[in-house]
Amino acid sequence: MKKVLFVIVSVALLTACTQNENYKKVMHDPLLYSQTVHELNSVVMGNNFTPVVASRNYTYANIAAYEVVAAGDSAYTSLAGQITGFDATPKAPADKQPDYPFAALLAYCKVGNAVTFPEGSMDDYIASLKKKATDEGMPSSLMKNSIDYANVVADHVLAWAKKDNYAQTRSASKYTVTEEEGRWVPTPPMYAQAVEPHWNEIRPIVLTNLNDVKVPKPLPFNVKDTASAYYKEVMSIKKAVDSLTPEQQHIAEFWDDNPFKLNVSGHVQFSTKKFSPTGHWMSIVGIASEKANADFATTVYAYTKTSIAMFDAFIECWDAKYTYNTCRPETVINKYFDPAWRPYLQTPSFPEYTCGHSTISSAAAEALTSVYGDNFNYTDSTELEFGIKSRLFKSFRDAAMENNWARFYGGIHFHQSCLVSTEYGRKVGDIVVQKLKMKKQDSLAANK
């Protein structure tokens, strides 16, 4: 009888252990985190968030997930005291320890849900995560502890997020259109109002002084002197767009990342959507993390550092845009050279100098290089779901450099602007990498 009982108990224990291992295998899979980021990416794209607002959505959600990871893994350090105005994250009670990776997923979703709209956009996905955990054998007590702790961390991050001046800028004054030569005006086909003219008033996360990354003044507007640098930039972009090769067209399309393109055909108008520039780089983080075979914690770390770099880079770039308010190539060429000329890509609704995509791409490249190293070759398949073939890159910096050509080939940025943007986006990325000590090797690398 004792032998039979021993066998029964042993089988029961083995079954319980197997269920636990099944749960960890499924719920601790870093690919599940990337899938969760993609879910928010789809919500952001579907609801027409502008690129700068999208950067806010991803960054706060990733910070919530990261804070959970840091609370459960001594290899990582909380962002408290490292980023502007962020206080210490509450710890989980000793007798109510959560499953930290699962809690990180839930915290990401709760914050992502809160900073997007319509309200509850991720509710079904959150329910699917809980069901998945239950189906894989997660004990109900652990489930409750994880949900409770995810809520605590998410609420802590959301309370901090509310102090970033975002709400105040919703009622700020709009951009003023004037007749001043060289000043930005709305462009076809939407002739939309300027996007987020007060984004430089949003609280940065790492940057403490925008003067540290203040770009030089743009080239003086001059379309009369054929020897002027500005005139040469105008002619250069016009000539390039008028004679694009198939490869150059592919580069422009690949990095288009227009979250809302208005298509006009006669009396018919319809929109097409893609991931924003930030969303594209979030996808690149996932591709790189999978190729590097990174674990769950490293994957969250990579997403968080990259999103923070892009968040601050957008603030730096928007400060330049609405300091100088320069007009787009399309406006200049239509008014002074060829009224029928159109860029290859649709012109975004904000000033030309500096280039947002080039700025955030080079910032993201520095952040990702600090995690996975330089010369990290990868295939970027992000655009396949939009019918655009993949591209191969030898490094993240290589991708950022191609991006600055992409905006030029697209006819929406002068190349001189793209070069300045790449340089200053890299500076923002460097500052983020140097200041954030998120992982033990970050501190070791900074001291070398």
Contact between 146 and 103 (Cβ < 8 Å): yes
pLDDT surpasses 90 at 336: yes
In degrees rounded to 5, what are phi and psi of residue 81? 80, -10
Residue ranges of the alpha helices (H) in 325-414? Answer: 329-336, 356-372, 396-409
pLDDT surpasses 50 at 375: yes
* CB under 8 A, 24+ apart: contacts of 142-148: 142/98, 142/99, 145/92, 145/96, 145/97, 145/98, 145/99, 146/98, 146/99, 146/102, 146/103, 146/106, 147/103, 147/106, 148/96, 148/98
Report all structural domains of the chain as residue ranges with CATH numbers, in order of start: 2-166 (1.10.606.20), 182-446 (1.10.606.20)
Q: Tell me the average pLDDT of the chain.
A: 93
* pLDDT above 70: percentage of residues in the chain: 93
* Closest to 187 measured CA to CA, from 116, 258, 130, 244: 258
Radius of gyration of the chain (CA): 24
Q: Mark residue 254 as left, alpha or beta (left: phi above 0; alpha: psi -120 to 50; beta: remaining).
A: alpha
Q: How far is CA 412 from CA 28, 55, 170, in A?
A: 42, 21, 27
State the helix-helix crossing angle for 415-435 and 296-324, rounded to 10 degrees: 130
Residues 140-168 pLDDT 10s: 999 999 999 999 999 999 999 999 999 99
Which pLDDT belongs to residue 260? 76
| Coil, helix or strand at residue 269 | strand
What pTM does this model have? 0.94
Residues 137, 51: Cα–Cα separation, whole Å: 40
Beta bridge partners of 326: 183
pLDDT surpasses 90 at 119: no
Range name among 157-161, 225-229, 264-268 with the lowest pLDDT average: 264-268
Contact between 286 and 38 (Cβ < 8 Å): yes
Residues 238-258 pLDDT 10s: 999 999 999 999 999 999 999
Residues 270, 263: Cα–Cα separation, whole Å: 5
Range name among 116-125, 315-324, 351-360, 399-408 with the lowest pLDDT average: 116-125
